[in-house]
Amino acid sequence: MSQPQRIEPPSLAAFHFISKVFHESKGYACGIAHLQHDTPYQYDDMEFSQNNYFWAKGVGISQIAPLDAMSDDTLAHLFSIIGVIIHDKLIETRDDLINVAVTEMEDPEDIYHIEGCTLDQLQSFLLYHAKQDMNPHWIELAEFYNSLAQDQQHAVSLFFSDCLNRPLDDLLAVPGPEQELPAVITKDLETHTQDGKHYAFCEIDQHWFRDADLNEKFVVTGVVKHNVADRRLLIATASTLKEAVAGASLYTQNMKIEDAIREVEIKYMGKVLAAAKVESPSMWSLPFPHIERPAKLNWDRENAGTDKITSQQFFKTLLETEKLLGLQWSKVQKLEDELGL
């Protein structure tokens, strides 16, 4: 298997999208709004797990070799970037991994799945099943990969493809939102680097966060209505409210006629901050429901706000952001509401 000598580091805007592809099985466009009509990233984790990681004694040489090929330093640095936790223990070195595997063999939590395996098989088995708790910093991962010698690049590449079922070059190429935010919207955050890790200052919380964590404070999702259960598609993430509003607005302004999203939500730290209905001149034309452009957002004025951001703060920022984007959706809606139209 060949691997690239260099991987282009992704943008912060693509982080959450890459993480969805990394963590979600089968993809189904991985719940990503701008990929909802495509079917990329179809990784069948159920089949992969059944074939390679159903039990530890079934782990093959292809799942053991990448770990053996990595030097202790490479493995430790990789662990520091992807974050490995096994049985509530942070794994930072090869010795940590070996020790937790030895403990598992001596006092197994699940004797059925590890009986009859070797220590090497169990290490790979435990790493695979720790995947859902991994939270890689994708820029640092790309920079680390690019710094390695070719043999170590090959080992890291095989680890992602053969042990985690995610080819690294494909993963880091997952695109962020199609519409880039204009410079008038984005704000240069106060940043610093410590021990090779990047941090940015959050004005709302008055606290330093990893840059990727701050960029996911605001999450913009689109809601697809179904009879059984609504489905949510990721539209954008943002470090500021202005960026979140702009991400929601630009997506709506550029919606394709076949897009199925009918509502948009902005969450701050996991709590719904504001929601809006997608409106267009013809929402339900036959024979199929579709969006007739141009679509717009009609924000719910009565139920906006969280404990961190008030409704007044949200709508002030909303009006300012739409003005910067050359839109008047909320200004016109406010006037119509006041006039009872």
Q: Which of 171, 204, 230 is the last residue of a domain?
A: 171
Give pLDDT tens digits for 142-199: 999 999 999 999 999 999 999 999 999 999 999 888 888 988 898 778 888 888 788 9
Is there a single domain that holds both residue 134 and residue 249? Answer: no
Residue 144 in any domain: the answer is: yes
Structural domain boundaries enclosing 294: 191-339
What CA–CA distance (Å, rounded) separates 66 from 163? 8
Cis peptide upstream of residue 108 (ω within 30 degrees of 0): no
Residue 12 in any domain: the answer is: no
Is there a single domain that holds both residue 163 and residue 295? Answer: no
Whether residue 286 has pLDDT greater than 70: no
Please state the domain count of the chain.
2
Q: How much is the pLDDT for 189?
A: 82
Q: How much is the pLDDT for 28?
A: 44
Pair 123, 110: CB distance under 8 Å: no
Is there a single domain that holds both residue 214 and residue 333? Answer: yes
- 269 — pLDDT class (breaks 50, 70, 90): very high
Tell me the two tokens of residue 219. 């999450």
Q: How much is the pLDDT for 287?
A: 44
Q: What percent of the chain has pLDDT above 70?
A: 91
Q: How much is the pLDDT for 281?
A: 65
Which residues, including other chains, have CB under 8 Å from residue 179's CB and lie 6 or more apart? 247, 250, 251, 254
Q: How much is the pLDDT for 341?
A: 62
Is there a single domain that holds both residue 164 and residue 259? Answer: no
What CA–CA distance (Å, rounded) separates 37 from 58? 37
Residue 100 in any domain: the answer is: yes
Instruction: Tell how far CA 253 is from the center of its chain.
Output: 23
Nearest to 160 by CA among 140, 136, 139, 176: 136
Is there a single domain that holds both residue 146 and residue 261? Answer: no
Is there a single domain that holds both residue 265 and residue 206? Answer: yes
Is there a single domain that holds both residue 64 and residue 126? Answer: yes
| C-beta neighbour count of 255 within 10 angstroms | 21
Residue 46 in any domain: the answer is: yes
Pair 34, 17: CB distance under 8 Å: no
Query: How far from 233 is each of 40, 220, 221, 267, CA to CA, in Å?
Result: 15, 9, 5, 13
Q: Concatenate the DSSP letters of all residues of 249-306 into one string.
A: HHHHHT--TT--EEEEEEEETTEEEEEEEEE-S-SS-SSS--PPSSPEEEE-SSS---
Compare 151 and 112 and report the one with higher pLDDT. Answer: 151
Is there a single domain that holds both residue 47 and residue 144? Answer: yes
Tell me the two tokens of residue 55. 């039990």
| C-beta neighbour count of 62 within 10 angstroms | 14
Pair 171, 21: CB distance under 8 Å: yes
- 316 — pLDDT class (breaks 50, 70, 90): very high
Chain length of the chain:
341
Residue 265 in any domain: the answer is: yes
Three-class DSSP category at 86? strand
Is there a single domain that holds both residue 264 and residue 307? Answer: yes
Is there a single domain that holds both residue 70 and residue 101? Answer: yes
Give pLDDT tens digits for 226-248: 767 788 899 999 999 999 999 99
Give pLDDT tens digits for 295-311: 899 999 889 999 999 99
What CA–CA distance (Å, rounded) separates 242 from 247? 9
Q: How much is the pLDDT for 194?
A: 86
- The CA R_g of the chain, rounded to the nearest whole Å, is 23
Average pLDDT over residues 251-266: 85
Whether residue 124 has pLDDT greater than 90: yes
Q: How much is the pLDDT for 299?
A: 95
Residue 33 in any domain: the answer is: no
Pair 15, 216: CB distance under 8 Å: yes
The highest-confidence range among 93-97, 129-133, 172-176, 233-237, by mean pLDDT, is 93-97
Residue 292 in any domain: the answer is: yes
Give pLDDT tens digits for 4-41: 899 999 999 999 999 988 988 654 445 888 877 776 77
Q: Which of 119, 141, 171 is the last residue of a domain?
A: 171
The neighbouring-strand residues paired with 89 are: 86
Q: What are phi and psi of 217, to 5 degrees?
A: -60, -45
The highest-confidence range among 39-53, 60-74, 108-122, 177-191, by mean pLDDT, is 60-74
Q: How much is the pLDDT for 332?
A: 84
- 283 — pLDDT class (breaks 50, 70, 90): low
Residue 21 in any domain: the answer is: no
Is there a single domain that holds both residue 116 and residue 251? Answer: no
Compare 25 and 65 and report the one with higher pLDDT. Answer: 65
Q: How much is the pLDDT for 292?
A: 56
Pair 39, 26: CB distance under 8 Å: no
Q: How much is the pLDDT for 230?
A: 80
The overall average pLDDT reported for the chain is 88
Is there a single domain that holds both residue 147 and residue 209? Answer: no
Q: Which of 115, 139, 171 is the last residue of a domain?
A: 171
Q: How much is the pLDDT for 162?
A: 96
Nearest to 265 by CA among 218, 204, 329, 324: 218
